[in-house]
Copies of this chain bind each other. A is one copy, B any other.
Amino acid sequence: MCPDMELIGNVKNDRFARYLGIKLLEAKYGYAKAEMEITENHLNGLDILHGGAIFALADYAFAAASNSKNITVGINVNITYFRSPRGRKIFAEASEISTQNKTCGYKVDIYDEDGELIAHLSALGYMMQNRGN
């Protein structure tokens, strides 16, 4: 399922992600993909998927991708919502776009089962320490 999970110890123990039913599908240096099955618990008062749930999945994919290399915390995250998803699952795919001395930039595409983009996230991470390589 996720052969590189050893690299991302602190992501494995993410209880918020677990509580929301988020699953890591793939993670390697600078890249990760995760999914979330939409349940009643993810809905807002308009009966659509909550923006906060979409954010949580995307933020988790960013964490998995960035922590494969360094202990990284998000310091700024920007999300734009395009439309509500169709189907029962959504996916988030995070890719590094730049890494500097102390900071890194990631983009995350969030899409539904039809492959339609539902939101886009940009994240700026701060690398707290290198993982000894």
Contacts and interface: CB of A to CB of B under 8 A. Distances in A.
B75 A124 contact: yes
A16 B52 CA distance: 8
Nearest to A81: B75
A11 B45 contact: yes
A100 B81 CA distance: 10
A130 interface: no
Interface of A: prevailing SS? mixed
Given A44-B15, A124-B80, A117 B98 contact: yes
Contact of A81 (B10, B15, B19, B76): B76
A40 B83 CA distance: 31
Interface residues of A, number: 52
Interface of A: 9-17, 19, 40-46, 50-53, 55-56, 59-60, 63, 67, 71, 73-83, 97-98, 100, 102-103, 105, 107, 109, 117, 120, 122, 124, 126
